[in-house]
Structure 1
Amino acid sequence: MNVVFIPGATSGIGLGLALRLHAEGKTVVVGGRRTELLERIAAEHPGIGTVTIDITDPASITAARDDLATRFPGLDTLITMAGIMEPEDLRDPASLEVAERTVEVNLLGPIRLITAFLPGLLTQPAATVMTVSSGLAYVPLPATPTYNATKAAVHSYTESLRVQLTGSNVRVIELVPPATRTTLMGQQNSEVAMPLDDFLDEVMSLLRADPKAEQILVERVKWQRNAVAEGRYSDVLTVLSGRYRS
């Protein structure tokens, strides 16, 4: 990773990861829809690049890709960070709108990004695609059914992408966060969520320790990630079923 683009990095894990990578000397570009947030990040963190991008709009993705190809021709890393998480009551027909929005952002967004940027990454001497799934890809949080489903799909897509790129110059990594203290689902003060700085510390250590890792798994997420293999799936699902219950 030398020149890194992180769409969806105007807050939370995305911004935190951008700042950590920038502090390690990487050239980092953050992307987002809100120009005012991008301008503030650029002002507060000199040296970090920004680009306006809406991952629900294919034309916006193409425009951002072309802009970055001109300004950062050595771009060798894409981290598909953008995502939303909203509760759904599946008995309510209005939940369909939430589901459609979630699929558009969390699943079609990363697929569109990878499709747009992969040709350029394949021209670099070495490159990386990092997708972002979730511990909820492995055991769902029943309050957010479509979020869980999109993250399971991102995991599956990542596995296929890695196999198809075997023998190429592109390394494929899946970052699997646990519940983390960000504004996603209002978890910034949640006692059951991992403090953001602790999560970022562990992620950066794991990236340094194993350059060939296929998944980045902090200890906190293994409770979910390994639930099936360890015969704990029902117990973990029961715990998650009690969260965000109305």
Structure 2
Amino acid sequence: MKLSGNTIFITGGTSGIGRGLAEAFHRKGNKVIISGRRKALLDEVARANPGIDTVELDVTDPAQIASVAKALIEKYPALNVVINNAGIMPFDDVAGPLDDAQALHSIDTNLLGPVRVSAAFVEHLKRQADAVIVYNSSVVAFIPMAMSALYSATKAAIHSYALTQRFALRQTSVRVLEITPPWVDTDLIYKSGDPRAMQLEPFIEQTMTLLETATTEVVVESARQFRDGAGPNEHGFVDYFNQMLIDNPLPAP
């Protein structure tokens, strides 16, 4: 995708990867609009980056998604890029009882949220000469994390959805890209400083470079082992990865 001259809407743009992408695109001369649930955090990003616009949005609310999309299309008729970044990563226990409320919230946020946001903009995007829908998935879409099983499953579903939407839009001006981050040290769970995690700045830098020529997926080098680990021999990799997390747990917050 072109890295300048776009009008870009990014969900979950107040922290972590979403904010990193927003600021990187802003520096390259794009018009950037970010959304988030908390006005105070939106205001903080806007103050730090004059020219970035903000809008409050809870991606679990279908009516609010429709309303915000309508307003943004009217205000920014040149809008041509939608980046679905908003997400949550709660821990769960698939060997025990289900927390049904948490499960529904995870699915609403991580799966139905991006699907609804993309659907709200797709007809508008088809009218643009050069448009892009981006999904932020995860390496755990391919090698799932047992301690966050439903999160992993929602990211696997996003990967599947991106594949089919890319095919469905193949004869339009809309391209579909998927960013597949490794473990990046952000506050998605909590910033831990764990040396196994990639730092945000190099992740954003490498992702921006890869986005320029990407046609399907954006996979930084440290995520490649996980992306390539899926397939007929994935069971051993899944077991090894999850046993490693048990033997070497995350540092306490």
Same fold (TM over 0.5): yes
2:45 to 33, 41, 49: 41
Task: Report what 1:65 is aligned to.
Answer: 69
The within-5 A match list for 1:64-213 is: 64-208=68-212, 210=213, 212-213=214-215
Letter matched to residue 143 of structure 1 = M
Question: Superposition RMSD on alpha carbons, in Å?
Answer: 1.8
Q: Deviations over 1:96-129 (max 9, x none)?
A: 3222111110000001101111011111111000
- Indicate the SS of the match to 2:108: helix
2:143 and 2:237 in contact (8 A); partners too: no
- Indicate the SS of the match to 1:108: helix
Kindly state the Cα deviation for residue 41 of structure 1 after the two structures are TM-superposed.
1.2
Distance 1:90 1:229, change over 3 A: closer
2:60 and 2:105 in contact (8 A); partners too: no
1:42 and 1:48 in contact (8 A); partners too: yes
Aligned partners of 2:28 and 2:234: how far apart in 1? 38
| Displaced runs of 4 or more, over 4 A | 229-233
1:143 and 1:241 in contact (8 A); partners too: no
Aligned partners of 1:188 and 1:200: how far apart in 2? 18
Q: Deviations over 1:114-160 (max 9, x none)?
A: 11110111111110000111100001110001000000000000000
2:222 to 220, 227, 241: 220
Aligned length: 244
Letter matched to residue 207 of structure 1 = L
Aligned partners of 1:111 and 1:229: how far apart in 2? 26
Q: Which stretch shows the higher mean deviation, 182-191 or 194-203?
A: 182-191
Aligned partners of 2:191 and 2:151: how far apart in 1? 15
1:224 and 1:236 in contact (8 A); partners too: no
Task: Report what 2:21 is aligned to.
Answer: 17
Distance 1:127 1:188, change over 3 A: farther
Q: Which stretch shows the higher mean deviation, 180-189 or 74-83?
A: 180-189
1:53 to 57, 63, 69: 57
- Indicate the SS of the match to 2:211: helix
Aligned partners of 1:135 and 1:66: how far apart in 2? 33
The sequence identity of aligned pairs, in percent, is: 36
1:141 and 1:241 in contact (8 A); partners too: no
Aligned partners of 2:7 and 2:112: how far apart in 1? 24
Unpaired runs of at least 5, structure 1? none
2:241 to 218, 236, 239: 239
Unpaired runs of at least 5, structure 2? none
